Each structure stands twice: as C-alpha cells, then as structure tokens.
Amino acid sequence: MTNLPGIVITGASGRMGQMLINTVLASDKCKLVGAVERVGHDWIGQDVGLAMGGASNGITVTDDALEAFSKAQAVIDFTAPAATVAFSALAAQAGCVHVIGTTGMSDEDITKLGDAANHCTIVRAGNMSLGVNLLTKLTKMVAQALDADFDVEVVESHHNRKVDAPSGTALMLGEAAAEGRGVKLSEVTDSGRDGITGARKRGDIGFSAIRGGDVVGEHDVMFLGDGERIVLRHVASDRSLFAKGAVKAALWGQTQKPGEYDMMDVLGL
C-alpha cells in the first residue's frame, strides 16, 4: 500500500471531485494523499470522508495546493480554467503528473499549460471515457470518407449546472471531424445560431448545446446528406467512467517524459 502512487484530488467537493475521491479510495493501484478545495470553502480543515457524508479516511481538505502536491505522484484536476492553469504551474514545481479534465479553457490558458508541460507530464482531455475517445476516432474516419456534401453537426446535452458550451467533448469531436476533412476547426465553426442566420455554409461544422436536469453527458455527431444521414452517438449515464479514465491516465503518466498528452495516448487509440 505504502509504495502505491499517491494522488491528490482538486475540487474535492465538486461532482467530479467526489467521484474521483471514491474511485481512488476503491483502487488497489494508487492511494489518496490529498484533497484540495478553493480558499474559503466550508470543507477546508475537515476530513474529506466525513465532509462527503461517509467514513473518516484521515485526509484533511486543504487550500494549500503546493503543500498537497509535494506529497503526491499525481494530481487529478476537474475544476475551472483559472484554477487549472494555476495548478499546472504548481504540479510542475512539485514534479507531479497533472491529469486535467477541466473544460472551457481559452487558447491563452492552453498556452500556459504548454509552459508547465516543459517540466511535468500533463494528460488533458475534454472527455476521459473510452467510449468517447473511440467515437472521436470514428468521427475522424467518417469525415475522411465523406465530402462536404454531408453537413457535420455536433449536438450535446448536459445537466443544468454546466457552465461552458460547447462542451469539451463536442469540441474534441468537432476537431476530429475537421482533421478528417483536412480543415481548421476555427475556420469552419458555426455555433450558437439565433435569428436570421442565412443558409448553412457548405463545409461548416455546427455545434448545438442542450442544458437541463441531471443529464450526465450525451453527444451526437451527425453527417447529414441528401436522402440519408449517419449519426454517431455516445451516452454517458454515470460519471464514474470519467473518474476511472482519469485514474488510468494518472497511473500511465508515471512512466512518461514531461510533455502534453491526451486520452488517445493513454488508451493507445
């Protein structure tokens, strides 16, 4: 037990934070060594097991991320863009693998992660599930096989607490479709249609976001032609699949050189 890689979970009280803590505690391949929350959060100073409504596990929630990271081999981080950028610099300082599930990152944020990746291993993906990563690969293949006679639309649904759109997964799928077509996504993106938008432009990749209830995450990639359509779909019904993927990434990262990786690398897809 003592030689197992130690993992810190940031955003410990969040939907994914709590799922990750339970996943690490249930694993026989790693151990929980820290739980981080934002400054001023009610959970700071409490035993994280008790704060989650379960049994005590001896890990006290802290807002001192660097101190927590310095005792760990990996940090799993599903929080918010500004927090993730700050954590990447601290993970680099502490020499930990940084697994990032946070979505809604700007280009500027991603550039800063690149600086940290000169000193530590970063694994980042908009979706950590095997199914979505396979769907990403299939999307690229279908886009390669079809020409712009087929309009590509990515439609995603999520719970009513989600703050970013399109989802990280939708953007991954859009990138894959653009790559398959040999175009840059930023030049063909069409999202947030409203009002007199004009007819659809040939070659565009469209995005639509539905928000409501407790939907964990659903993604359709539609290839719409004249008289036929192909729909590739992934439905997540349980957040544990994202957490299991993130733990797999943290363990895989232990043997990698500093740099930026994604779940395709982890899963060998």
Ligand X SMILES: NC(=O)C1=CN([C@@H]2O[C@H](COP(=O)(O)OP(=O)(O)OC[C@H]3O[C@@H](n4cnc5c(N)ncnc54)[C@H](O)[C@@H]3O)[C@@H](O)[C@H]2O)C=CC1
Binding residues: 11-16, 37-38, 101-103, 125-128, 159, 168-169
Helix (H, G, I), strand (E, B) or coil at 222: strand
Select the binding partner of residue 247 from ligand X, ligand LZUJQKHR, none (C-beta < 5 to 8 A, by kind): none
Phi-psi region of 192 (alpha: psi -120 to 50; beta: other; left: phi over 0): left
* Given 83, 209, 215, 224, the residue binding ligand X (CB under 6 A): 83
How many whole angstroms separate alpha carbon 260 and alpha carbon 91? 13
| 98: annotated active-site residue | no
Decide if residue 162 touches ligand LZUJQKHR (CB under 6 A): yes
Select the binding partner of residue 6 from ligand X, ligand LZUJQKHR, none (C-beta < 5 to 8 A, by kind): none
Decide if residue 80 touches ligand X (CB under 6 A): yes
List Cβ neighbours of 166 (8 Å cut-off, separation of 6 or more).
154, 156, 174, 191, 207, 209
Total residues at the site for ligand X (CB under 6 A)?
A: 25
Decide if residue 130 touches ligand X (CB under 6 A): no
**Closest CB 14 distance from ligand LZUJQKHR, rounded Å:** 10
Identify residues 227-266 at the interface with ligand X (CB under 6 A): 242
- Catalytic-role residue among 31, 158, 219, 234: 158
Whether the CB-CB separation of 232 and 220 falls below 8 Å is answered with yes
Residue 249, CA atoms < 13 Å, CB-side half-sphere: 31
How many whole angstroms separate alpha carbon 248 and alpha carbon 264? 12
Select the binding partner of residue 83 from ligand LZUJQKHR, ligand X, none (C-beta < 5 to 8 A, by kind): ligand X
| Pattern 165-204, ligand X, x by CB under 6 A | ---x------------------------------------
Give whichever of 46 and 133 is closer to ligand LZUJQKHR, judged by the CB atom. 133
Cis, peptide link before residue 258, omega less than 30° from 0: no
Give whichever of 85 and 117 is closer to ligand X, judged by the CB atom. 85
Give whichever of 8 and 30 is closer to ligand X, judged by the CB atom. 8
Q: Which DSSP category does 64 fall into?
A: -
Helix (H, G, I), strand (E, B) or coil at 260: strand
Identify residues 93-132 at the interface with ligand LZUJQKHR (CB under 6 A): 103, 126-127
* Distances, alpha carbon 228 to alpha carbons 151, 168, 231, in Å: 11, 28, 10
List Cβ neighbours of 209 (8 Å cut-off, separation of 6 or more).
156, 157, 158, 165, 166, 167, 170, 191
Closest listed residue to residue 75, CA positions, set 111, 102, 51? 102
Select the binding partner of residue 136 from ligand X, ligand LZUJQKHR, none (C-beta < 5 to 8 A, by kind): none
Closest listed residue to residue 71, CA positions, set 24, 34, 124, 30? 34
| 219: annotated active-site residue | no
Name the residues that contact ligand X, by CB under 6 A.
10-11, 13-17, 36-38, 41, 78-80, 83, 101-104, 125-128, 168, 242
Q: Give the residue numbers marked as catalytic.
A: 158, 162
Name the residues that contact ligand LZUJQKHR, by CB under 6 A.
103, 126-127, 158, 162, 167-169, 217
